[in-house]
Amino acid sequence: MSTTIQHVTYRNLGWDTAADIYLPADFDPSKAYPAIVSTHPIGSCKEQTSGNVYAAGLARAGFIAIAFDASFQGASGGQPRYIEDPAMRVLDIRFAIDYLLTLPYVDPERIGAIGVCGGGAYTIHAAMTDYRIKALASVTGVNFGRLIREGFSNFDPVSALHAMAKQRSAEARGEARHVINYLPASTAEAQQNGISDIDVLEATEYYKSPRGQQPNGATSGLFSFNSAAFGWDAFLHAEVLLTQPLMVVIGDKPGGFGAYRDGLEIHGRAASKDKHLVVAEGWSHYDLYDRDEPVALAMAQLLPFFQKYL
Protein backbone atom coordinates (compact mmCIF):
# COMPACT_ATOMS: atom_id res chain seq x y z
CA MET A 1 0.00 0.00 0.00
CA SER A 2 1.29 3.43 -0.90
CA THR A 3 1.23 6.47 1.35
CA THR A 4 0.90 10.19 0.78
CA ILE A 5 3.49 12.61 2.14
CA GLN A 6 2.57 16.19 3.02
CA HIS A 7 5.42 18.67 3.52
CA VAL A 8 4.60 21.11 6.32
CA THR A 9 6.18 23.74 8.52
CA TYR A 10 5.14 24.93 11.95
CA ARG A 11 6.47 27.37 14.49
CA ASN A 12 9.02 26.31 17.08
CA LEU A 13 10.44 28.76 19.65
CA GLY A 14 11.53 31.45 17.21
CA TRP A 15 11.92 29.61 13.93
CA ASP A 16 10.07 27.13 11.74
CA THR A 17 10.31 23.34 11.93
CA ALA A 18 10.17 21.41 8.64
CA ALA A 19 8.32 18.09 8.75
CA ASP A 20 6.78 15.41 6.58
CA ILE A 21 3.38 13.95 7.44
CA TYR A 22 2.87 10.40 6.20
CA LEU A 23 -0.79 9.62 5.56
CA PRO A 24 -2.40 6.18 5.10
CA ALA A 25 -3.38 5.20 1.56
CA ASP A 26 -7.07 5.32 2.43
CA PHE A 27 -6.79 8.57 4.40
CA ASP A 28 -10.14 10.20 5.19
CA PRO A 29 -9.83 13.72 6.69
CA SER A 30 -13.22 13.35 8.36
CA LYS A 31 -11.92 10.55 10.60
CA ALA A 32 -9.79 10.77 13.76
CA TYR A 33 -6.54 8.78 13.55
CA PRO A 34 -3.87 7.73 16.02
CA ALA A 35 -0.67 9.66 15.32
CA ILE A 36 3.01 8.95 15.98
CA VAL A 37 5.97 11.35 16.14
CA SER A 38 9.09 9.85 14.53
CA THR A 39 12.45 11.32 15.59
CA HIS A 40 15.62 11.00 13.55
CA PRO A 41 19.11 10.01 14.71
CA ILE A 42 21.96 12.34 15.66
CA GLY A 43 23.23 14.18 12.58
CA SER A 44 20.46 12.71 10.43
CA CYS A 45 17.32 14.17 8.82
CA LYS A 46 13.66 13.37 8.29
CA GLU A 47 14.27 11.85 4.84
CA GLN A 48 16.35 9.08 6.34
CA THR A 49 15.30 6.20 8.58
CA SER A 50 12.84 8.08 10.81
CA GLY A 51 10.76 9.13 7.81
CA ASN A 52 11.25 6.92 4.77
CA VAL A 53 11.38 3.69 6.79
CA TYR A 54 9.55 3.92 10.13
CA ALA A 55 7.07 6.75 9.52
CA ALA A 56 6.25 5.28 6.11
CA GLY A 57 5.76 1.82 7.62
CA LEU A 58 3.48 3.15 10.33
CA ALA A 59 1.40 5.05 7.77
CA ARG A 60 0.97 1.91 5.68
CA ALA A 61 -0.51 0.31 8.79
CA GLY A 62 -3.07 3.09 9.20
CA PHE A 63 -1.34 5.60 11.49
CA ILE A 64 -0.65 9.26 10.88
CA ALA A 65 3.12 9.64 11.26
CA ILE A 66 5.14 12.84 11.36
CA ALA A 67 8.90 12.96 10.82
CA PHE A 68 10.60 16.31 11.43
CA ASP A 69 14.02 17.86 11.11
CA ALA A 70 15.62 18.85 14.40
CA SER A 71 16.03 22.55 15.13
CA PHE A 72 19.30 23.95 13.72
CA GLN A 73 19.50 20.97 11.36
CA GLY A 74 18.13 19.82 8.00
CA ALA A 75 15.42 22.05 6.52
CA SER A 76 14.35 23.40 9.92
CA GLY A 77 15.33 26.85 11.09
CA GLY A 78 17.49 28.04 13.95
CA GLN A 79 20.93 29.61 14.16
CA PRO A 80 23.74 28.78 14.44
CA ARG A 81 23.53 25.58 12.43
CA TYR A 82 24.35 22.00 13.49
CA ILE A 83 23.58 22.37 17.18
CA GLU A 84 22.99 18.98 18.84
CA ASP A 85 21.52 20.01 22.18
CA PRO A 86 19.51 17.23 23.88
CA ALA A 87 17.19 19.70 25.60
CA MET A 88 16.32 21.23 22.24
CA ARG A 89 15.87 17.83 20.61
CA VAL A 90 13.36 16.89 23.32
CA LEU A 91 11.62 20.25 22.88
CA ASP A 92 11.31 19.51 19.15
CA ILE A 93 9.26 16.42 20.00
CA ARG A 94 6.93 18.50 22.14
CA PHE A 95 6.40 20.99 19.31
CA ALA A 96 5.65 18.13 16.91
CA ILE A 97 2.93 16.98 19.31
CA ASP A 98 1.62 20.54 19.57
CA TYR A 99 1.32 20.64 15.80
CA LEU A 100 -0.44 17.27 15.61
CA LEU A 101 -3.03 18.57 18.07
CA THR A 102 -3.99 21.32 15.59
CA LEU A 103 -4.93 18.74 12.94
CA PRO A 104 -8.64 17.82 13.00
CA TYR A 105 -7.95 14.28 11.82
CA VAL A 106 -5.64 13.44 14.77
CA ASP A 107 -7.12 11.91 17.91
CA PRO A 108 -5.47 13.81 20.81
CA GLU A 109 -5.85 10.82 23.11
CA ARG A 110 -4.00 8.47 20.74
CA ILE A 111 -0.56 10.02 20.24
CA GLY A 112 2.58 7.91 20.32
CA ALA A 113 6.27 8.42 19.65
CA ILE A 114 9.12 6.49 18.11
CA GLY A 115 12.77 7.36 17.58
CA VAL A 116 15.85 5.84 15.99
CA CYS A 117 19.38 5.94 17.47
CA GLY A 118 19.76 9.24 19.34
CA GLY A 119 16.14 9.93 18.47
CA GLY A 120 15.11 6.84 20.42
CA ALA A 121 16.65 8.14 23.63
CA TYR A 122 15.29 11.65 23.02
CA THR A 123 11.84 10.07 22.66
CA ILE A 124 12.27 8.24 25.97
CA HIS A 125 13.28 11.42 27.75
CA ALA A 126 10.40 13.39 26.22
CA ALA A 127 7.84 10.80 27.28
CA MET A 128 8.93 11.04 30.92
CA THR A 129 7.59 14.58 31.20
CA ASP A 130 5.03 14.74 28.40
CA TYR A 131 2.17 12.39 29.13
CA ARG A 132 0.43 13.33 25.92
CA ILE A 133 2.62 10.48 24.63
CA LYS A 134 0.51 7.40 25.36
CA ALA A 135 2.98 4.77 24.11
CA LEU A 136 6.54 4.91 22.82
CA ALA A 137 9.22 2.89 21.09
CA SER A 138 12.98 3.22 20.84
CA VAL A 139 14.68 1.59 17.86
CA THR A 140 18.39 0.98 18.50
CA GLY A 141 18.26 3.98 20.84
CA VAL A 142 21.47 5.67 22.01
CA ASN A 143 21.82 7.88 25.09
CA PHE A 144 23.74 10.80 23.57
CA GLY A 145 24.80 12.12 26.98
CA ARG A 146 26.57 8.86 27.79
CA LEU A 147 28.03 8.57 24.30
CA ILE A 148 29.56 12.04 24.31
CA ARG A 149 30.99 11.55 27.80
CA GLU A 150 32.57 8.32 26.60
CA GLY A 151 33.45 7.50 23.00
CA PHE A 152 32.77 10.90 21.44
CA SER A 153 35.22 12.54 23.86
CA ASN A 154 37.78 9.70 23.75
CA PHE A 155 36.76 8.87 27.33
CA ASP A 156 38.22 12.16 28.54
CA PRO A 157 35.18 14.43 29.01
CA VAL A 158 36.95 17.02 31.12
CA SER A 159 39.58 17.71 28.46
CA ALA A 160 36.85 17.84 25.82
CA LEU A 161 34.89 20.39 27.84
CA HIS A 162 37.97 22.58 28.26
CA ALA A 163 38.50 22.51 24.49
CA MET A 164 34.86 23.36 23.85
CA ALA A 165 34.96 26.25 26.31
CA LYS A 166 38.03 27.67 24.59
CA GLN A 167 36.44 27.31 21.16
CA ARG A 168 33.15 28.91 22.20
CA SER A 169 35.00 31.87 23.67
CA ALA A 170 36.87 32.28 20.40
CA GLU A 171 33.64 32.14 18.41
CA ALA A 172 32.04 34.70 20.72
CA ARG A 173 34.88 37.05 19.77
CA GLY A 174 34.17 36.58 16.07
CA GLU A 175 36.26 33.59 15.03
CA ALA A 176 34.78 31.04 12.61
CA ARG A 177 32.47 28.33 13.89
CA HIS A 178 34.09 24.91 14.19
CA VAL A 179 31.78 22.27 12.70
CA ILE A 180 32.94 18.69 13.15
CA ASN A 181 31.83 15.61 11.25
CA TYR A 182 30.94 12.73 13.52
CA LEU A 183 32.07 10.23 10.87
CA PRO A 184 34.97 9.63 8.46
CA ALA A 185 34.44 10.66 4.83
CA SER A 186 34.31 7.04 3.67
CA THR A 187 34.72 3.49 4.92
CA ALA A 188 38.06 3.35 3.10
CA GLU A 189 39.28 6.38 5.06
CA ALA A 190 38.04 4.82 8.30
CA GLN A 191 39.91 1.60 7.65
CA GLN A 192 43.06 3.49 6.65
CA ASN A 193 42.89 5.22 10.03
CA GLY A 194 42.67 1.88 11.81
CA ILE A 195 38.97 2.13 12.72
CA SER A 196 37.40 -1.29 13.14
CA ASP A 197 34.30 -0.57 15.24
CA ILE A 198 31.18 -1.95 13.57
CA ASP A 199 29.07 1.12 14.38
CA VAL A 200 31.52 3.63 12.91
CA LEU A 201 32.08 1.57 9.78
CA GLU A 202 28.40 0.85 9.19
CA ALA A 203 27.36 4.42 9.99
CA THR A 204 29.86 5.67 7.42
CA GLU A 205 28.61 3.17 4.86
CA TYR A 206 25.01 4.29 5.48
CA TYR A 207 25.47 8.06 5.61
CA LYS A 208 28.29 8.47 3.09
CA SER A 209 26.98 6.23 0.29
CA PRO A 210 23.88 6.22 -1.92
CA ARG A 211 22.30 3.72 0.46
CA GLY A 212 21.33 6.40 2.97
CA GLN A 213 22.96 9.65 1.90
CA GLN A 214 20.67 12.69 1.84
CA PRO A 215 21.51 16.39 1.29
CA ASN A 216 20.39 17.29 4.82
CA GLY A 217 21.89 14.26 6.56
CA ALA A 218 25.02 16.18 7.43
CA THR A 219 26.35 13.99 10.31
CA SER A 220 27.81 17.25 11.61
CA GLY A 221 27.91 18.99 14.96
CA LEU A 222 28.89 22.44 16.16
CA PHE A 223 31.83 21.54 18.40
CA SER A 224 31.56 24.40 20.87
CA PHE A 225 27.85 23.77 21.51
CA ASN A 226 28.26 20.03 22.13
CA SER A 227 29.14 20.83 25.74
CA ALA A 228 25.42 20.98 26.58
CA ALA A 229 25.15 17.21 26.17
CA PHE A 230 27.83 16.28 28.73
CA GLY A 231 25.60 16.88 31.74
CA TRP A 232 22.53 15.23 30.18
CA ASP A 233 21.22 11.71 30.75
CA ALA A 234 18.35 10.43 28.61
CA PHE A 235 17.32 7.94 31.28
CA LEU A 236 17.39 10.16 34.37
CA HIS A 237 14.34 9.45 36.59
CA ALA A 238 13.08 6.66 34.32
CA GLU A 239 12.40 4.50 37.39
CA VAL A 240 9.76 7.00 38.50
CA LEU A 241 8.58 9.00 35.49
CA LEU A 242 8.65 6.62 32.51
CA THR A 243 5.26 5.00 33.03
CA GLN A 244 3.80 4.59 29.52
CA PRO A 245 3.88 1.33 27.56
CA LEU A 246 7.38 0.98 26.13
CA MET A 247 9.00 -1.08 23.40
CA VAL A 248 12.78 -1.21 23.00
CA VAL A 249 14.24 -2.68 19.81
CA ILE A 250 17.95 -3.49 19.57
CA GLY A 251 20.26 -5.60 17.42
CA ASP A 252 22.44 -8.20 19.10
CA LYS A 253 25.71 -7.06 17.46
CA PRO A 254 27.08 -4.52 19.96
CA GLY A 255 29.04 -1.55 18.64
CA GLY A 256 30.82 1.48 19.97
CA PHE A 257 27.74 3.72 19.98
CA GLY A 258 26.22 1.56 22.70
CA ALA A 259 22.63 0.93 21.61
CA TYR A 260 22.74 -2.64 22.89
CA ARG A 261 23.74 -1.68 26.42
CA ASP A 262 21.48 1.38 26.45
CA GLY A 263 18.53 -0.71 25.33
CA LEU A 264 19.05 -3.25 28.10
CA GLU A 265 19.51 -0.46 30.63
CA ILE A 266 16.34 1.48 29.87
CA HIS A 267 14.26 -1.65 29.58
CA GLY A 268 15.38 -2.61 33.06
CA ARG A 269 15.04 0.84 34.59
CA ALA A 270 11.72 2.01 33.14
CA ALA A 271 8.78 2.21 35.53
CA SER A 272 6.47 1.12 32.70
CA LYS A 273 4.30 -1.81 33.75
CA ASP A 274 4.03 -2.92 30.13
CA LYS A 275 7.49 -2.92 28.57
CA HIS A 276 8.95 -5.08 25.85
CA LEU A 277 12.51 -5.80 24.72
CA VAL A 278 12.86 -6.94 21.11
CA VAL A 279 16.29 -8.28 20.15
CA ALA A 280 16.94 -8.61 16.43
CA GLU A 281 19.28 -11.58 16.48
CA GLY A 282 22.10 -11.47 13.97
CA TRP A 283 21.58 -7.80 13.12
CA SER A 284 23.43 -4.59 13.97
CA HIS A 285 22.55 -1.01 14.86
CA TYR A 286 22.59 0.20 11.25
CA ASP A 287 20.86 -2.87 9.88
CA LEU A 288 17.81 -1.64 11.80
CA TYR A 289 17.91 1.65 9.89
CA ASP A 290 16.81 0.24 6.54
CA ARG A 291 17.65 -3.42 5.89
CA ASP A 292 14.49 -5.24 4.85
CA GLU A 293 14.71 -8.27 7.12
CA PRO A 294 15.55 -6.61 10.46
CA VAL A 295 13.17 -3.72 9.79
CA ALA A 296 10.40 -6.23 9.05
CA LEU A 297 11.26 -8.03 12.29
CA ALA A 298 11.01 -4.74 14.20
CA MET A 299 7.78 -3.67 12.51
CA ALA A 300 6.21 -7.05 13.23
CA GLN A 301 6.46 -6.12 16.92
CA LEU A 302 6.00 -2.35 16.71
CA LEU A 303 2.73 -2.38 14.76
CA PRO A 304 0.70 -4.58 17.15
CA PHE A 305 2.23 -2.69 20.07
CA PHE A 306 1.02 0.68 18.81
CA GLN A 307 -2.29 -0.78 17.62
CA LYS A 308 -2.92 -2.06 21.12
CA TYR A 309 -2.10 1.15 22.97
CA LEU A 310 -3.19 3.78 20.46
Task: Tell me the per-residue pLDDT of 97-139, one tens digit each, with 9 for 90 and over.
Answer: 999 999 999 999 999 999 999 999 999 999 999 999 999 999 9
| pLDDT at residue 1 in the model | 57
217, part of any domain: no
Instruction: State percent of the chain over pLDDT 90.
Output: 98
Residue 16 in any domain: the answer is yes
Q: Note the pLDDT of residue 3.
A: 81
The answer as to whether 165 is a domain residue is no
Helix axes 86-100, 118-129, angle to 10 degrees: 70
Return the axis-axis angle of helices 259-269 and 118-129, rounded to nearest 10°.
20
The total domain count for the chain is: 1
Single out the residue of 112, 138, 118 nearest to residue 232, CA to CA.
118
Q: What is the arithmetic mean of pLDDT over 44-55?
A: 98
Q: For residue 18, tell me if it sits in a domain.
A: yes
Mean per-residue pLDDT, 216-245: 97
Output phi, psi for 179, to 5 deg. -100, 125
Q: Which domain holds residue 247?
A: 4-153+232-309
CATH code, 66: 3.40.50.1820
Residue 210 lies in a domain: no
Residue partners of 180: CB distance under 8 A and separation at least 6: 220, 221, 222, 223
Tell me the average pLDDT of the chain.
97
- Residue 2 confidence (pLDDT) above 80: no
- 13 within some domain: yes
